[in-house]
Amino acid sequence: MKGYGVVKIGQPGWLEKEKPVPGPLDAIIRPVVIAPCSSDTHAMHGGSGPKENLILGHEAVGEVVETGNLVIKFKPGDKVVVPCVTPDWTGRYIQEGKYNAHDNTMMGSFKFLLAKDGTFAEFFHVNMADANLVILPEEIAPEAALMTVDMMSTGFHAVELAEVGYGEVVVVVGIGPVGLMSVAGAQLRGAGRIIVVGTRPNCVKIAKEYGATDVVSYKDGDIVKQIKDLAGGTVDKVIIAGGDGKTLTQAISMVKPTGIVSNVNYYDASDTFTIPAPVWGLGMANIDIRGGFCPGGAARIEKLLNNIKYKRIDPSKLITHRFDGFEKIEDAFLLMDKKPADLIKPAVFIKW
């Protein structure tokens, strides 16, 4: 079968692979709508370590073509939403409720890209289908459902880690698709004021539609000063969904003592963090610094789909570029890599 991915670091391209085979609990899926993610392009450039001959992609809505003999909830022909994180639910950390890691492997529940080929393929494999797949609800457009599997789950996770509460002043640094979902999530959790950092005009427009009250540009000088001036001092919570190696220190510098900094940004392997002691209250400011990974599994995605079904949020606003046909995965991926200013998220619609 054909798939699109990383031939070697820095070189994306088409790959020929064996069609995957399901284990007893697994399913084989054909993609119906897929989207590239910033993490796919980051991986292609080597930001997550050495990779070669690997099919990329971890966001998909698809159709079941084959199931293992112990799968009970799904059958060939079912349209399914595929979480980008598909835990092996037998893992020790998972039994302890920490389901993003698997035993001692950081992000070990992220199987696509880290442990096997991804979703940019004619067929892809999903482990533990009954615990990880969700039937696509009839009322929800596949492209909206697609935005739950990574963008909404990650963006909302940043809001959960930040424990955003009613009336709080929340900063969201970065308003690409992940940060935009954090804005929408903070709004749903009752934030009072949502100050966002970003510049692309269509991201700014959608951030306001999702609930942003103020916009700061990192191109207009120090964001810490700009935000403190706006807020009249420090803020309750800072969510990081973009930026560079300096952003963590900036976030700690603008959050109040006892506040929370919540990061979902994917730093580069070469980044290091330097925190001047005074901005962290000489280590005694009781500032929580949290970083997390997209939660997955069926129950998570079912809940996020409810937010769409009952019209709390329309995440399909993120999709700015649409492509038709399997072979257009390449164009969508290269566009995601180039990131023109009007791009938020491309999606590829596939008919078989």
Contact between 297 and ligand NDP (CB under 6 A)?
no
Q: Are strands 124-126 and 345-349 parallel, antiparallel or unpaired?
A: unpaired
Closest CA to 258 of 282, 219, 286: 286
Among 39, 86, 109, 132, binds Zn ion (CB under 5 A): 39
Contact between 150 and Zn ion (CB under 5 A)?
yes
Contact between 177 and ligand NDP (CB under 6 A)?
yes
Q: Work out how close the CB of 204 gets to ligand NDP at its nearest, in angstroms, rounded to a whole number.
A: 7
CB pairs under 8 A, 24+ apart, for 140-143?
Answer: 140/305, 140/308, 140/309, 141/316, 142/32, 142/33, 142/61, 142/79, 143/33, 143/61, 143/316, 143/319, 143/347, 143/349
Chain CA centroid to CA 75, Å: 28
**What is the DSSP secondary structure assignment for residue 137, as one 8-state letter?**
P
Chain CA centroid to CA 77, Å: 27
Q: Work out how close the CB of 110 gets to ligand NDP at its nearest, in angstroms, rounded to a whole number.
A: 8
Contact between 293 and ligand NDP (CB under 6 A)?
yes
Of the CA atoms within 13 Å of residue 148, those in its CB half-sphere come to 30
Contact between 203 and ligand NDP (CB under 6 A)?
yes
Contact between 37 and Zn ion (CB under 5 A)?
yes
Q: Work out how close the CB of 343 gets to ligand NDP at its nearest, in angstroms, rounded to a whole number.
A: 8
Secondary structure (3-state) at 132: helix
CB pairs under 8 A, 24+ apart, for 302-305?
Answer: 302/134, 304/148, 304/152, 304/153, 304/156, 305/81, 305/134, 305/137, 305/140, 305/145, 305/148
Nearer to Zn ion by Cβ, of 264 and 350: the residue is: 264
Calpha distance 204→88 (Å, rounded): 38
Calpha distance 296→202 (Å, rounded): 28
Calpha distance 169→177 (Å, rounded): 21
What are 321's strand-pairing partners? 346
Among 5-13, 19-27, 69-77, 242-250, which window interacts with ligand NDP (CB under 6 A)? 242-250
Contact between 315 and ligand NDP (CB under 6 A)?
no
User: x/- string (CB under 6 A) for ligand NDP, residues 210-229?
Assistant: --------x-----------
Q: Which does 147 bind (CB under 5 to 8 A by kind): Zn ion, ligand NDP, none?
A: none
Nearer to Zn ion by Cβ, of 39 and 67: the residue is: 39
Among 37-45, 116-124, 172-180, 253-261, which window interacts with Zn ion (CB under 5 A)? 37-45
Is residue 320 within 8 Å of residue 202, measured between CB atoms?
yes
Q: Which does 260 bind (CB under 5 to 8 A by kind): Zn ion, ligand NDP, none?
A: none
Among 71-79, 143-151, 269-277, 282-290, which window interacts with Zn ion (CB under 5 A)? 143-151
Other C-beta atoms closer than 10 Å to the C-beta of 350 total: 21
Q: Which does 200 bind (CB under 5 to 8 A by kind): ligand NDP, Zn ion, none?
A: ligand NDP
Among 66-74, 118-126, 141-149, 258-266, which window interacts with ligand NDP (CB under 6 A)? 258-266
Contact between 247 and ligand NDP (CB under 6 A)?
yes
Locate all alpha helices (DSSP H) within 52-109, ordered by sequence: 92-95
Contact between 56 and Zn ion (CB under 5 A)?
no
Q: Work out how close the CB of 125 gets to ligand NDP at its nearest, in angstroms, rounded to a whole number.
A: 20
Residues that bind Zn ion (CB under 5 A): 37, 39, 150
Residues that bind ligand NDP (CB under 6 A): 37-39, 42, 150, 154, 173-179, 197-200, 203, 218, 241-244, 247, 264-266, 293-294
